[in-house]
Structure 1
Amino acid sequence: MIDFSEWVSVASQMTNRSLAGSRVLVDDTAENNTYDSAENNTKNNNKNIEKFLKSSQSWGIIPTTCKKDADFDATQSLENLKNTTINAPSLSGKDAIDYAQKHMPVMQTLLSELRKKELDLQGVRIAVCLVLEPKTAVLLRELHAYGATVGVFCAPDETDQRVADQLKKEGIVVQANRSWTPAQTHEGALKLLDEIQPNIIIDDGASFARLASLERPQIAEKLIGVAEETTSGVRAFEAMQEAGQLNYPVIAVNNSALKTDFDNRHGTGETCVTTMQKILGSACFRNAKVTVVGYGPVGRGFALRIRALGANVTICDTNPVQSLRAVFDGFEAKNLECAVTSSTMIVSATGVRHTITLQHMQKMQENAILAVIGGIANEIALDEIRDFKPIVGTSQRQIQVPNGPQITLISEGDGTNYTTGGGNPIEIMDFSFAVQVSAVAYLLEHNGKNANKSNNGKNRLNAGIYQLPEASDNQIASIALEKRGYSASEANKNNGYRWDLTRFAEEESN
């Protein structure tokens, strides 16, 4: 049976499908239909299968022995796996988008359901600022098909050029080019704002909405609202609100359970591991001493997975509760100043500027590997290294730290999975973009053209940060379960509960 480290690296990077939540064929000769735990073995007590099963638990993989139900086949050789698996990065722009669309039924079903409830996108102008790759293209396609005027901006290092070119052919406004200079990037962002004149922005890192607030205030003041995708973006909007500069409603998509619990932990956590394997080799985590900085959903998802691949992991987090959570997950928790000196690999997962300072880099070991899986500008203080200039498309390179060691920098210190890899898995982004669609619908329901007619303006959203109602997550999760052949359980609606019925009252009645 194929080595687990090799299998996850190839299966993830070639298909861009989610391994978490997938059914994986581990033994097509066994009599049982599924394996319940790592202790179950095949009839021949196959040690390779046992090892695969043990590792797969931390990756959220569902082992199966039923071939027709399997999403992936781990029983074949590595060579056969490579020869029989679709290679998504090699597809044309159109084929890559079509391939992603085939595996994104949740968002499409949700749009259909919302349309039945009178979601009307005709005349709505939506500017999207997200990593531009096939999954994002599916979101753009769907919004466009439902009548919205849609445009997208993306920075050069986050742009899949084949996708950008294809979307232009499909009539979607695109301001993105992988060869742009910083000045051209800025100009392109403003061009999209001017051309689309958006009343809704779907944002990543609050980048586009802040640009509108600072350089196109006449557009910002007319916004119905913003749907924000990321932790760092919500943090930026909170700072704007605190400073009295937030003049429109923001839906914190990132705070949705369907976003944080899946996109962050299983999407980013998974693909950052396999992208680093792609760059450094499938066995790169075996016996490595890895410091993960930040134990939020991204850091936790990453740490649990690399431990299953053989890494010795230390966690550094400024939050005592998160640090304690790491300890109870079986990790050591240390101060970053101490941890960097003994680590062969340091990975930042905070989304906070200058998490890794120049002083931290100066204390690192010679040839230590340094990467970011959070993903904001200068999460590593590379701006303090005078002669450092990022090169788009560089997966790794050696840099000399002033008065310090030579270290290996991954993906130019930017978010590893979307700059060098294929981004988060298709199924995971299906959930996230379904939440984005819900956010758009919520903004239109409360602040759209028909909002005042339906509720006399009573439920209008003022400037501020809002979270989607729990019912939104439940609707999306129910669709996702149904598409995968599962369902949630039903509660007993008549359980005899009364607030005044305590254990003492029950004992007396007996």
Structure 2
Amino acid sequence: MSDYQPISAQLDDVSSAREDGHRKMDWARQHMPILNALRDDFVADQPLAGEVVGMAMHVEAKTACLVELLAEGGADVAITGCNPLSTHDDVSAALDEHERIESYAKRGVDDEEYYAAIDAVIDHEPTITVDDGADLIFRIHQEYPELIDSIVGGCEETTTGVHRLRAMDEDGELDYPVFAVNDTPMKRLFDNVHGTGESSLANIAMTTNLSWAGKTVVVGGYGDCGRGVAKKAEGQNADVIVTEVEPRRALEAHMEGYEVMPMAEAAKEGDVFITTTGNRDVITEEHFEVMQDGVLLANAGHFDVEVNLDQLSDLAVDTYEARDGVRTYELDDGRRLNVLAEGRLVNLASPIALGHPVEVMDQSFGIQAVAAREVAQNSGEYDAGVHNVPDELDREIAEIKLDAEGVAFDSLSAEQSEYMNSWDHGT
């Protein structure tokens, strides 16, 4: 059992922190019509009554609105961070004040504290898990397998976490059902493209006080996140180079008008490098050795393994903080390579980072909320393993959003539905 304490016991001025956290949450709530609409139903129906929800997420204002929604829907909630640098302590403290929520999330923890906080969440014996990166799920399977029989299911938020869980599922090691929230259209088409693209570029610009116009931006990977980063960078008048290992994505990037080349070639050309692959060693020693003086190195993938900082440290003759959130590695020939946010998620881990836009996360967290509701109400319908979120739930969130925006849309007539769902209409 972990003796790690909730955030409220760790802060010197918890009252002031809570006040600041509530102010941030109030602002986010004003711009989250999906969660606000769901809140009315959750309060009335109590779909999570009797459940204990364990969460490992980026604990900031938008996430807090989801956490409160789950608690107001009847759950007891324990939460911690899913990244050592993405927690806002004031928001964590504000959450911890809620009678049905305990928050262990704290910014700047080391590895030992990070997992002690996850263990503290697990000590609550969750019946539902909500994860961003799957660290909570893995910890339960590896260290607390005795709890698995009491867990009805879980939800996974991000691309990297879903990849890990699918690998776990293929090996027959995932012992309860988990919804791949990341893979729904309402998450993938908006959060990964618009959310990652806009927030990564915004936080790099704010951290460095540099412009995008005229710069050469190298995007590592052309999945949904890489596509978003490339699109948004091009929209701010940058020249974009894409690197890929998957031939169809490389062809897609080429057909979209981007230069496509191996990273070994792109390393000589780029002013800014942004990795989005979810894989390790995307940028390594061979690339550092040919980069220009002053380049920016940023990562928009979940873990800090895409830019090999161990190799960069070995090459450097000096390192220092050039600005808040920017660490400069000076090489023996005088070139300076600048790493943002310690190689972690640049849109969440830099000192001034605020994460994805509020409206985008309203959609993603709406999916999380209805997926958690589905787990609580219909867990018996799902075997252990990774599952797609039912399409009707994804559509539910889209319809709430359209209604909030005052956007009307067509529906199929009975004749059209019959035509689309039959096989015997020929020429």
- TM-score, with normalisation over the residues of structure 2? 0.87
Matching residue within 473, 486, 497 for 2:407: 486
Of 216-225 and 310-319, deviating more is 216-225
Secondary structure (helix, strand or coil) at the match of 2:355 reads coil
Query: Residues 403 and 466 (structure 1 numbering): CA distance in 2 closer, same or farther, change over 3 Å?
Result: farther
Matched, 1:192 2:92: no
Q: How does 1:361-380 map to 2 (within 5 A)?
A: 361-380=288-307
Question: Matches of 1:471 and 1:390 in 2, distance apart?
Answer: 51
Secondary structure (helix, strand or coil) at the match of 1:398 reads strand
1:445 is displaced (CA, Å) by 2.5
- Given that residues 266 and 428 in structure 1 are in contact (C-alpha distance below 8 angstroms), is that contact kept between their aligned partners in structure 2? yes
1:502 is displaced (CA, Å) by 2.6
Matching residue within 233, 245, 257 for 2:161: 233
- Given that residues 363 and 404 in structure 1 are in contact (C-alpha distance below 8 angstroms), is that contact kept between their aligned partners in structure 2? no
Aligned position for 1:318: 245
Amino acid of the residue matched to residue 426 of structure 2? T
Aligned position for 2:376: 444
Matched, 1:257 2:185: yes
Question: Matches of 1:326 and 1:413 in 2, distance apart?
Answer: 25
- Given that residues 42 and 73 in structure 2 are in contact (C-alpha distance below 8 angstroms), is that contact kept between their aligned partners in structure 1? no
Matching residue within 260, 269, 275 for 1:348: 275
- Can you give the 5+ residue segments of structure 2 that lack an aligned partner in the other structure? 1-16
Aligned position for 1:180: 109
Of 153-162 and 427-436, deviating more is 153-162
Q: Deviations over 1:439-483 (max 9, x none)?
A: 112212222xxx5xxxxxxx3x11111001211111110110000
1:390 is displaced (CA, Å) by 11
Amino acid of the residue matched to residue 192 of structure 1? V
Matching residue within 84, 98, 102 for 1:170: 98
Q: Deviations over 1:237-270 (max 9, x none)?
A: 1121222211111100000111111111011111
Secondary structure (helix, strand or coil) at the match of 1:240 reads helix
Question: Matches of 1:401 and 1:286 in 2, distance apart?
Answer: 27
Aligned position for 2:13: none
Secondary structure (helix, strand or coil) at the match of 1:157 reads coil
Query: Residues 221 and 378 (structure 1 numbering): CA distance in 2 closer, same or farther, change over 3 Å?
Result: farther
Q: Deviations over 1:279-318 (max 9, x none)?
A: 222x521111111111111111111111121111111111
Question: Matches of 2:333 and 2:172 in 1, distance apart?
Answer: 42
Secondary structure (helix, strand or coil) at the match of 1:409 reads strand
Aligned position for 1:142: 69
Larger RCO (CA under 8 A, 6+ residues apart): 2
Q: How does 1:270-309 map to 2 (within 5 A)?
A: 270-281=198-209, 284-309=211-236
Aligned position for 2:12: none
Amino acid of the residue matched to residue 358 of structure 1? E
Q: How does 1:88-107 map to 2 (within 5 A)?
A: 92-107=20-35
Amino acid of the residue matched to residue 370 of structure 2? S
Q: CA RMSD in A?
A: 2.4
Matched, 1:128 2:55: yes
Amino acid of the residue matched to residue 219 of structure 2? V
Amino acid of the residue matched to residue 214 of structure 1? Q
- Given that residues 93 and 163 in structure 1 are in contact (C-alpha distance below 8 angstroms), is that contact kept between their aligned partners in structure 2? yes
Aligned position for 2:341: 411
Amino acid of the residue matched to residue 157 of structure 2? E
Q: Structure 1 vs Structure 2: percent identity of aligned residues?
A: 30
Matching residue within 143, 152, 163 for 1:215: 143
Aligned position for 1:463: 384
Question: Matches of 2:372 and 2:320 in 1, distance apart?
Answer: 35
Aligned position for 2:7: none
Question: Matches of 2:333 and 2:145 in 1, distance apart?
Answer: 44
1:181 is displaced (CA, Å) by 2.9
Q: Which has the larger radius of gyration?
A: 1
1:329 is displaced (CA, Å) by 1.3
Question: Matches of 2:331 and 2:399 in 1, distance apart?
Answer: 50
Q: Deviations over 1:473-496 (max 9, x none)?
A: 111101100001102212233248
Query: Residues 390 and 296 (structure 1 numbering): CA distance in 2 closer, same or farther, change over 3 Å?
Result: farther
Q: Deviations over 1:106-154 (max 9, x none)?
A: 02323544677x5621110001111000011111111112210001111
Aligned position for 2:14: none
- Given that residues 284 and 312 in structure 2 are in contact (C-alpha distance below 8 angstroms), is that contact kept between their aligned partners in structure 1? no
Of 198-207 and 302-311, deviating more is 302-311
- Given that residues 134 and 164 in structure 2 are in contact (C-alpha distance below 8 angstroms), is that contact kept between their aligned partners in structure 1? yes
- Given that residues 320 and 328 in structure 2 are in contact (C-alpha distance below 8 angstroms), is that contact kept between their aligned partners in structure 1? no
Amino acid of the residue matched to residue 359 of structure 2? E
Query: Residues 501 and 256 (structure 1 numbering): CA distance in 2 closer, same or farther, change over 3 Å?
Result: closer
1:386 is displaced (CA, Å) by 5.1
Question: Matches of 2:205 and 2:166 in 1, distance apart?
Answer: 35
- Given that residues 249 and 463 in structure 1 are in contact (C-alpha distance below 8 angstroms), is that contact kept between their aligned partners in structure 2? yes
- Given that residues 268 and 298 in structure 1 are in contact (C-alpha distance below 8 angstroms), is that contact kept between their aligned partners in structure 2? yes
Secondary structure (helix, strand or coil) at the match of 1:350 reads coil
Amino acid of the residue matched to residue 463 of structure 1? A
Amino acid of the residue matched to residue 47 of structure 2? D
Q: Deviations over 1:316-365 (max 9, x none)?
A: 11111111111121111111111111211111011212222232222322
